Structure 1
Amino acid sequence: MTFHRTSRVAFLVAIAVAATALSVTPSLAFSSEAQQMCTGDAMRLCGHEVPNVQRITACMARNRAHVSPGCRAVMEREHAARKRAAAAAE
């Protein structure tokens, strides 16, 4: 895999991981912590879905129980923060 393709794949995976962690549609708003902690899990569990961000997101949600403890912690923390923000906006 070329460097450019590897970078693109890592970027797409990071977007999907963050979308899953934040329980929102894929966007460019993701934490660097989620990218750092979850990219390896996303590649291991959902690399076969690249480059389809929606399918990576769905795959990560399905495999949430199989992610590393660090990734799971980030996903849970960011999901809780998103829920608090949504509740405060109501």
Structure 2
Amino acid sequence: MSAFVLFALAVLCVSTAHAASREEQSAACRGDAIKLCTFAIPDEDKVTACMKKKVDQLSPRCRAMFEPAGKKKPRHGRAKSPS
């Protein structure tokens, strides 16, 4: 892979997940970008748009990079009954 492609993947989610470092974002999403959005590489904006469109197909780790900072997914399971 060229250095430009690696750079594009490294900054892929910068605008959507500020809490994660570029290295974490790249590690989390590199495989998904190659698997789902190869046609868009090396255009960073196109890769990001593609991945947002396919967010339901992303690995859980990469999908987390597209959630706003501080947003937590509700846990599945039974709710506690009121006391």
TM-score normalised per structure 1: 0.61
* Larger Rg, first or second structure (1 or 2): 2
Q: Percent identity?
A: 35
CA contact (8 A) 1:18 1:35 kept: no
Q: 1:11 aligned to 7, 13, 24, which one?
A: 7
Runs of 4+ in 1 over 4 A off after TM superposition: none
User: SS of the residue aligned with 1:80?
Assistant: coil
Q: Match of 1:40?
A: 31
Q: 2:41 aligned to 39, 50, 53, which one?
A: 50
TM-score normalised per structure 2: 0.65
Q: Is there any run of 5+ residues in structure 1 with no aligned partner, and where?
A: 24-29, 82-90
1:71 corresponds to 2:62: yes
